[in-house]
Amino acid sequence: MQLRYNYRLDVRPRHRSALAKAFGCARVVFNDALAARESAYQAGLPYITDAELSARLTLAKRTPQRAWLTEVSAVVLQEALADLNTGYRNFFASLSGKRKGPRVGPPRFRSRKDHRQAIRFTANARFKVLPNGKLRLPKVGDVPVRWSRPLPSKPSSVTVIKDSAGRYFASFVVKIRSEPLPQAKRVVGIDLGLTHFAVLSDGTKIASPRFLRRAEKHLKRRQQGVSRKQEGSHNWEKARNGVARAHARVADARRDFRHQLSTRLIRDNQAVAVEGLAVKGLARTRMAKSVHDAGWAEFVAMLEYKARLYGREFHRIGRLEPSSQVCSACRTKDGPKPLRVRVWQCQECGAWLDPDINAAVNVANAAGLAVTACGAQVRPEPVPAQRREAGTRSKSCRKAA
């Protein structure tokens, strides 16, 4: 299977200007080709084929207006066209219904103000990891890499990215063989929600780490600071850069957290099940939905590829019918619950249930995983309002009458 390995690049000033040129050229090639296809479409002419676009690029390089395109790697420009072609294919597939999921729009023009600039070098470009650890990029130079872990095999391509905080990364695509772990005894259902990052069918509740929540709060304050400054002013620019850097740090910390958690879940369990997309409870918060959705999607994607990598079972089940309303012990649908309820009793079998854990058990059940519903069952005593994230599960599995 193919995986991406990402590393920070220590870009020197001379690399910086060469990369800026390459980003700019790739952008111009992309935009020229997009404009050509759009005007052909508006003139009622046939769709310009990929091969035709490529031929036009070769011709353009010979004109005085575009001669400077020869100053960057030809592969980088061809890959910019490949990105455009992929964008169109996804758009057409989405129109015809061949592509599932949310609607994909037509490709859009790239801007120098885009938060993320990227170029791709394939094997044809002869990029190389040198014995001294530097990354040799054609027409850019030998760029030092922070090797946070070794590359498992020879990469087939590398994408060089500049993010909104001005940091540079190399993202290598490498092929790796799956290495199944020894069989694990446990299986688990996972409920993703807002009160906790994840709740497991065995009763474990996992909150985002405290440092992360603090960093998120801090970031929000800084963002407010930016909006109080006059747009375009020197101070505004400074504050905005500061926020971009803080944002990048928080995003990194979030990703680390998801990596650690997904690795642990895959290592400890023979099978994991998650609900398609957890949007439960979103309606009742003002939290940025997109942030959470993106975070969950990334987390689920990590679980999926790690399951493949380590020979585990991965189940993504469709959106459940209000899973919190079904008793995980006797599977009776028990009707809606007040939002704030911390514990409820099934009217059918009498089990006392923690709604979050109950939902996680239902996810496991829907995937056909044999988990006990006992983790979801709690003491019937009134549960005080929770200040901490500790679980409310009882030590022994209570079988209610």
Range in contact with Zn ion (rule: CB under 5 A) among 2-10, 238-246, 342-350, 391-399: 342-350
- Which residue in 348, 389, 397, 399 binds Zn ion (CB under 5 A)? 348
CB of 328 to Zn ion, least distance (A): 8
- Rounded to a whole number of angstroms, the minimum distance from the CB of residue 325 to Zn ion is 11
Among the listed residues 349, 372, 379, 398, the single contact to Zn ion using CB under 5 A: 349
User: Burial code of 98-116, b = ≥16 C-beta within 10 A, e = fewer?
Assistant: eeeeeebeebeebeeeeee
Identify which of residues 208 and 362 has a Cβ nearer to Zn ion in the complex.
362
Question: Considering the complex, what minimum distance in angstroms separates the CB of residue 332 from Zn ion?
Answer: 5
Please identify, using beta-carbon distances, which residue of 348 and 389 lies nearer to Zn ion.
348
Closer Cβ to Zn ion, 48 or 349, answer by number: 349
Question: Which range of residues in 181-189, 193-201, 312-320, 351-359 is near Zn ion by CB under 5 A?
Answer: 351-359
Q: Among 18, 198, 206, 327, indicate the residue that binds Zn ion (CB under 5 A).
A: 327
Which of residues 346, 359, 364, 367 is near Zn ion by CB under 5 A?
346
Position among 329, 359, 373, 378 found at the interface with Zn ion (CB under 5 A) = 329
Interaction between residue 206 and Zn ion (CB under 5 A): no
Q: How far apart are CA 175 and CA 196, in angstroms?
A: 35
Q: Give the Cα separation of 188 and 274 in Å (integer).
A: 9
CB of 330 to Zn ion, least distance (A): 3
Structure tokens at 137: 């990029």
Q: Is the CB of 135 or the CB of 346 nearer to Zn ion?
A: 346
Minimum separation from the CB atom of position 392 to Zn ion (A): 18
d(CA 387, CA 390) in angstroms, rounded, equals 9
Q: Hunting for tokens 């065995």 — which residue is that?
A: 202
Residue choice 184, 279, 330, 400 for contact with Zn ion (CB under 5 A):
330
Catalytic residue numbers read: 191, 275, 356
Contact stretch for Zn ion (CB under 5 A) within 76-84, 247-255, 321-329, 368-376: 321-329
* Residues 268-307: x where in contact with Zn ion by CB under 5 A, - otherwise, as a string: ----------------------------------------
Please, which residue, 122 or 377, has the CB nearer to Zn ion? 377
27/81 Cα distance (integer angstroms): 10
Size of the site for Zn ion (CB under 5 A): 7
Where on the chain is the footprint of Zn ion (CB under 5 A)?
327, 329-330, 346, 348-349, 351
